[in-house]
Structure formats: structure tokens, C-alpha cells
Amino acid sequence: MLSRLGGNEGGGTLAEKKPNDKFREARQRTESLTNPDECLSRQEVAELANAWIWKHHHKKFELNANYIGKIEQGVIRWPNALSREAFRAIFNVGKDSELGFVNARARYYRAVVKLDDVDDMKRRKLFETTTTLGVGALLGEPIATLLGGGEPPPIPQRIGATDIEQIRSATQVFESWSRAYGGGVARAAVRAQLHWSADLLEATCPEQLRPELFSAVGELAEVAAYMAFDAGAHEEARRVFGFALGCAEQAKDWPLRACVLDSMALQAMWTGQPDEALTRAELALVRADRLTPARQTMHHTTRARALAKMHRVQETLRAIGTADEHFAHATPDNEPPSMAFCTTARHDQLTGQAYADLALLGRDPGEAAKRLEAAAAGHAEGYVRSRAICLAKLASLTMVTGDPLQAAAIGHEALNITGSIRSHLATEDLRDLSRYATAHQHLEEVEHLRHRIATLVCTDNPEEESSLNPSSIHP
């Protein structure tokens, strides 16, 4: 996506080419070096910039009058960092914006992400008009008064390694929250953090650190997008996934690119587009030689799940076999920290889901049940959402292929966990379970399960869940 943007000095493909009047006016009000009665010429500006960069950075630049003309015409909206630094010194200004410089790439990011459709003034007004409700009313004072007026933290003028590490730390926190409590809990917080982090892309950053900055922001965006996906906000998730993918491509970060594509494939599966999911999963495996065994495991598993949704049985089995083979060669010492979640329990969960889809087509459910049971038992304490999904899938599988009373017991266990999280993915699995349970609703335990599910997912009438007859899923 971002490969189309060109270098930092571009911008014509993203923004309308409007003349840069601020830069031209700054030149015209600055006295010429050779003729006091005239302003600086374009060539003089170029020569001054070349000399300033050489003096302060010992780098040879060859800016010329044509280059300065392109700036004034709006063709070049965002010169490189050293050129902007030189122009600020020549015209004695403190900010790039005073010379009309616009980072069209960063504006493009914000346009794609659309993190907040309400501007700051409207947002503050909306907040002020609602402070008479809820906690504010109980405490007798407006919430805004109690918390203070808070302004967003300022964007550093220059980005360093510490700033990048802080973004990565925030990403780890949000990812941990998402796994433990679901994507619906901290969406507003991660959105605000991503908005601020995306603005860092507009700040000055050493060229050797810029790929790391893009990677860090891209990783945060991938987590934010997945949280939106988990909360059922699919359009927002698609936009932010697109932004994350752009960051990965700009950084030439192949593992991050594959990770984003994998998440996009999962969303396509959940929204009933298995063919699109398969395309995304296979794109994730482009240049698989740059991916560790654990990452390849994850992407082959997603490919298997997409194939299972398309009822392509033999291809699904081969893809699961390939995933198992890569997982057997994965060792934690050779994997990055970001792959710590790729545990045996996680592998059993994802491959178990693919096997379960095949079992619901009439194949032997034994392998699916074995892997889902192992996954539910093996997930660490913080992986609440994953355990809830495993149990719900296992309950559905058992409801269709085994003992409905046993399925109801597993379903109740899934409900006990799901009630503590805010995850659209987990509740949708429970909806599926309720539909599969329709054939056995004459059993008291099964009917009790369906009513509990209806209450949790805010369905007023449990009979709404009876549109799918589980018997119809067999060939």
C-alpha cells in the first residue's frame, strides 16, 4: 500500500498540488545576498541550503533552483529532514509548518485510519453535555471538573530509540488486555494511543531508526485493529489493518506484514468470506524464507482453516500437516518475543478448529475433540478469550457429533468464562452453539444452556437461534 507513496519528498499522489505560498513568501521577504534591493532567488536558497547541510552534517547536497521551484509550486510538499532543517535556519523559523511543509504521507495515514470522526472541539462539547449523567451525577460535580481538562501529550520534535520502545511497551500491554478481557474493553484507549503514535511518523527521526518506528507503529495498529475486530467493529478493523499493512511495507518488515495479512484473513473468515481469507493467508506466506517456523506454522494453520470453510477437505488436511511439521521445528529460543503466544495450546486450538469444521462436514470428530480439549486445558491463565473460544467450539462439536448433555456441560463452562470478557468473537461462537443445540432443546440442560446464551448475548427470544438445523451441516 505505502510503496506507492515514494520518498519523503513526494506528496503529489496523495494531496492536491497547491502552491506553497508560505515558502515563497519567506523567500521573497529575505534579502538577496548579492543585491540588497531584491529578495533571495531560488538558486540562492538552494546554494544556502547546500552550504548549511555541509557545514552542520558534512553531507553533500545538490539542491538547485528547479528543486526550490517545485517546493513553491507544491510538487514537493515534504522535503527530507536535512533540507527542512536547513530551510528553517535560512528563514529563521521554528516549525516546518511555518514554511508550508505538509507530510502528505502522515495525512494519508490519518485519512485511512479515521481513528476518530469527531474533532477535538466536538468531542469536548459532547463530553461536557454528558457529565451530568453517571458518575458525575453521583459525585455532584462534572467529571471534567474532577479529572481536569487534559490535553493530549505533545509530539516530540525528534524521535529516538526510547520513543520507539515506549510504543512497543504499550503494544504489549494492550495485547495482554485483549487476550484477558476481550477487544471491547480498551478500544478507546488503544485508539488514542495509536492516534498519538501515528503522529510520531511526522516528527524528525534518524533515518536508521525510521524503519523501526514504522514497525513499532504498525505492530500497535495491528493490535488495535484486532481489538476492533474482536469487538465486532469490522469497518474500523479493516481500515486500521490497512494502515498496519502500510506501515509494515514501508518498514520492509516481512514478519509484521505476514502477521497483519493473517489477521485480515481471520476477519475475512469471520465475515463469511473464506475465499478472501485464503487469498490473504497465501499472501502472508510470500517470502516464507523470511519467516520463522512458528510464524509459518501460524500462517499455514490459517490457510487450513480457510480451506476447511470452503469444504476443500484434502487440501485442509495437507495444510494442517504442513503446519504441524513447521511447529515441530519451532523452538522458543529462535523466535522473537512477539511469537510467545504461539504455544502448543495455541497450535492445538487453531488446528483443532480446522479439524472441527471438517468434522461438521461428516468426518471423524476425534482429532478435533482431542486438540480442542488439549488447548482448553493448556492455555495459560491470561489467555481467557482463547480458552472460552476453545470450550465453545468443543461444545458445538460435541453437540453435533456426540452426547448433548456432555456438550451442555462444556457449554456452561464456556459461558462461565465468557461472562468476564467483552469479545464479539467469543459470543458469536456461543451463538453457533445455541443454534446447534436447537435439535436437542427438549432436554432440560440443553434448553437451560440456550437461555443462558440468549441472556449473555442480549437475544430477547432464544428461538431466534433456531434458524440453523445442525443436521443440515452433514453432506
Cα distance between residue 77 and residue 16, in whole Å? 10
Give pLDDT, residue 88: 92
* Same domain (yes/no): 352, 226: no
* Same domain (yes/no): 357, 475: yes
- Residue 272 in any domain: the answer is no
**Selected residue with higher pLDDT from 330 and 459:** 330
* 137 CB neighbour count, 10 Å cutoff: 12
In 3D space, the residue among 470, 460, 310 whose CA is nearest the CA of residue 397 turns out to be: 470
- Residue 372 in any domain: the answer is yes
* Same domain (yes/no): 245, 117: yes
* Same domain (yes/no): 161, 242: yes
- Report the DSSP beta bridge partners of residue 39: 31
What pLDDT, in 10s, does the model give residues 33-84?
888 788 999 999 999 999 888 888 888 888 898 889 989 988 888 888 889 9
What pLDDT, in 10s, does the model give residues 317-344?
999 999 999 999 988 777 777 777 788 9
- Residue 67 in any domain: the answer is yes
Instruction: Supply the Cα-derived Rg of the chain in whole angstroms.
Output: 28
Contact 398, 357 (CB under 8 A): no
Listed residues 231, 252, 273: the one ending a domain: 252
**In the predicted model, what is the mean pLDDT of residues 454-471?**
47
- Residue 457 in any domain: the answer is yes
Give pLDDT, residue 439: 93
What pLDDT, in 10s, does the model give residues 189-222?
899 899 989 989 888 889 999 999 999 999 999 9
Reply yes or no on whether the pLDDT at 184 is more than 80: no
* Same domain (yes/no): 115, 32: no
* Same domain (yes/no): 125, 87: no
Cα distance between residue 332 and residue 280, in whole Å? 26
Report the CATH number that the domain containing residue 30 is assigned in CATH. Answer: 1.10.260
**In the predicted model, what is the mean pLDDT of residues 371-396?**
91
What pLDDT, in 10s, does the model give residues 277-310?
999 999 999 989 999 999 999 999 999 999 999 9
- Averaged pLDDT of the chain: 82
- 3-class SS of residue 39: strand
Domain that holds residue 111: 105-130+157-252
What pLDDT, in 10s, does the model give residues 93-111?
988 889 999 875 555 455 5
* Same domain (yes/no): 110, 241: yes
The single-letter code of the amino acid at 410 is: I
Reply yes or no on whether the pLDDT at 115 is more than 80: no
* Same domain (yes/no): 172, 97: no
* Same domain (yes/no): 356, 437: yes
**In the predicted model, what is the mean pLDDT of residues 352-380?**
93
Reply yes or no on whether the pLDDT at 271 is more than 80: yes
Q: Domain count of the chain?
A: 3
Place of cell 499522489: 13
- Report the DSSP beta bridge partners of residue 158: 204
* Same domain (yes/no): 364, 437: yes
Listed residues 193, 219, 252: the one ending a domain: 252
Cα distance between residue 360 and residue 419, in whole Å? 26
From residue 375, give the alpha-carbon distance in Å to each of 165, 257, 294.
32, 27, 17
* Same domain (yes/no): 394, 425: yes
pLDDT band, very low/low/confident/very high, at 458 (cuts 50, 70, 90) = low
Cα distance between residue 6 and residue 12, in whole Å? 10
In 3D space, the residue among 301, 341, 306 whose CA is nearest the CA of residue 321 turns out to be: 301
Give pLDDT, residue 322: 96
Place of cell 494492550: 174
Give pLDDT, residue 106: 53
- Residue 264 in any domain: the answer is no
Reply yes or no on whether the pLDDT at 119 is more than 80: no
- Residue 296 in any domain: the answer is no
Listed residues 205, 235, 252: the one ending a domain: 252
**In the predicted model, what is the mean pLDDT of residues 138-158?**
54
* Same domain (yes/no): 22, 115: no
Give pLDDT, residue 347: 93
Q: What are phi and psi of 92, to 5 degrees?
A: 55, 55
- Residue 138 in any domain: the answer is no
One DSSP character per residue, 131-161 reads TTSTHHHHHTS-HHHHH----PPPPPSB--H
- Residue 13 in any domain: the answer is yes
Report the CATH number that the domain containing residue 413 is assigned in CATH. Answer: 1.25.40
C-alpha cell at 133: 449523567
In 3D space, the residue among 455, 343, 313, 468 whose CA is nearest the CA of residue 396 turns out to be: 468
